[in-house]
Amino acid sequence: MLSKKVIFTFSPQNVERPVTYQLIKKYDLWINILQAKFKPSLGGKLVLELKGEKNQIEEGLNFARQIGVGVEFLEQEVLWNEEKCIDCGACVSICPTGVLSLDKETFKLKFDYEKCIVCGNCVEACPLQAIKVTF
Amino acid sequence: MTIQRTYEEINTKIRSGKAVIVTAEEIIPIIEEKGIEKATEEIDVVTTGTFGPMCSSGAIINFGHSDPPIRMQKVWLNDVEAYAGLAAVDVYLGATQLSERQGMEYGGAHVIEDLISGKKIKLKAISRGTDCYPRREIESYITKKSINQAILFNPRNGYQNYNVAVNTSERKIYTYMGILLPDLGNASYSTSGQLSPLLNDPEFTTIGIGTRIFLGGAQGYIVWEGTQFYPQVIKDENGNTIYKGGTLAVIGDLKEMSIDYIRAATFSGYGVTLVVGIGIPIPILNSEIMKNVAVKDEDIWTEIIDYSFPHLKKPSLGRVNYRQLREGKITIQRKDIPTSPLSSYAKAREIAQKLKEEILKGEFLLQEPIQKFPKGNKFKSLLEIR
């Protein structure tokens, strides 16, 4: 089974579609809602962790795209600018899921996208503004 | 036989390429293997390093005179005000001064970083005008090449030891020690521990006025004790010695620095600061000095301070050592608390290595202090007198 973190962007046209319901029902996906921000009738963002067979995930995402939902993968939206990073570690203690850590040998920052729930704590904590969440 | 060396003997070895130099981290296993005496015989210099936020920093800039000339009374660089109460075209740009348009997103430290990177900086100055300086306003652009001097002069850098910051309140707080989560949600600390310059020469035997140092990628100097210089040696109930309170005033040519070793930073909700890279070589003049550089993270203790308390004297929640801090979590009141360093250990290590390489190449010679720091300083608070 594969696990993917995705960000769905809804427009006023598709915000009322029961997308998660259909992903579960039609494509047999496990869904974990990590974050949801909606403004009624204006649209919104949904951060999801999807689990399922590779083809089921692909088909489910295609379905979402077909009805006009923007689909991005989390690693494209949470950007860590390694060039800017000074490995100070200000971010490591405020990350609730252990995405960020300092390597025990090199003391350089490690960024484990798999664990990210896009809480945005690190964005605020980074003194060099080296982490961005683009949605 | 007890080894004694002079600065001159060490410099002669450096010039002939025969000096043996290691970093303050590399020396630890050497001493463990060979002992203090043997290590003293073999090693001439130990290099230290630190790369952390140091707010009391800034730059002296001389723009050169325009025609007609102006006696600048108020000056802005990229909308960040610089202090102009000096001669006509001299200013002091403080690292923490905020932009008048962008607020905390940009400040004096960012202007310093942009100057070092060679970027164009917008200059605006106003004046009342005088007979000898008739001009009342100027707007122009400067770069580090267009100006006469850009001298980094930091009145307080390189803190010997610093508190661990935590927050016992129910609210997230924004401090110069970073974001502190409620209910002891995290802890932050800021020194390079066993690599830190002033923890490797805790009683200022070799570090003093005139010491040549690595500063922001260039060669700089210690020019005075730092402001709030108040070295303390505390013996705690478990027999540990805690050194704290030493600081340095440093100077160097900004034009020669590199943003690899000096950077602007913003602490969310607090403000702008400058992350300064400093490396200091410790000459191994005798075995007493070698004993000092043998210091390890587990020997260096510091106080855990509750930053949610809004007064000057904040309560202590106990002590920890840097080994515990660097492992990533500490325990306070039976709770495991994740830690954040703030000062980059990876960079501190890089600086100590770079300084070692510069000395090995004969590009960096050791300078004996021309004067020692004062002893018995008092730490004064500001009294409110009405």
**Per DSSP, what are the bridge partners of residue B264?**
B274
pLDDT of residue A133: 86
pLDDT of residue B376: 80
Indicate the burial class of B199 (C-beta count within 10 angstroms; 0-12, 13-18, 19 or more): buried
Residue in A87, A90, A106 nearest the CB of B178: A90
The model's confidence at residue A74, banded by pLDDT at 50, 70 and 90, is confident
Residue boundaries of the structural domains of chain B? 7-54+153-360, 64-147
Residue in B186, B341, B343 nearest the CB of A94: B186
Within 8 A of A86 by CB-CB distance, chain B residues are 51, 263, 275, 344, 347
The chain-wide mean pLDDT, for chain A, equals 92
Calculate the alpha carbon distances from B119 to B78, B114, B116, B351 in Å.
11, 5, 8, 25
ipTM for the complex? 0.93
pLDDT tens, chain B, 386 aa long = 588 999 999 999 999 999 999 999 999 999 999 999 999 999 999 999 999 999 999 999 999 999 999 999 999 999 999 999 999 999 999 999 999 999 999 999 999 999 999 999 999 999 999 999 999 999 999 999 999 999 999 999 999 999 999 999 999 999 999 999 999 999 999 999 999 999 999 999 999 999 999 999 999 999 999 999 999 999 988 888 899 999 999 999 999 999 999 999 999 999 999 999 999 999 999 999 999 999 999 999 999 999 999 998 999 999 999 999 999 999 998 999 999 999 999 999 999 999 999 999 999 999 999 999 998 888 888 988 88
Cβ–Cβ contact A108 with B under 8 A: yes
Domains in chain A, start-ordered, CATH in brackets? 2-76 (3.30.70.260), 81-133 (3.30.70.20)
Residue B147 to residue B160: CA distance in whole angstroms: 34
Taking an 8 Å cut-off on Cβ atoms, the answer to whether B339 and A93 are in contact is yes
pLDDT of residue B85: 97
Residue B322, phi then psi, degrees to nearest 5: -70, -20
Residue in B186, B339, B346 nearest the CB of A107: B346
Is B55 a known active-site residue? Answer: no
pLDDT of residue B315: 92
Cβ–Cβ contact B328 with A under 8 A: yes
At a CB cut-off of 8 Å and minimum separation 6, what does B272 contact? B95, B96, B97, B98, B104, B106, B107, B108, B109, B110, B264, B265, B266
Q: Is the pLDDT of residue A78 over 90?
A: no
Q: How do residues A79-97 score in pLDDT, each as one tens digit?
A: 999 999 999 999 999 999 9
pLDDT of residue B43: 98
pLDDT of residue B1: 58
Longest dimension (CA), chain B: 73
Calculate the alpha carbon distances from B234 to A116, B231, B244, B276, B300 in Å.
43, 10, 8, 27, 12
Q: How do residues A106-135 score in pLDDT, each as one tens digit?
A: 999 999 988 898 888 999 999 999 999 876
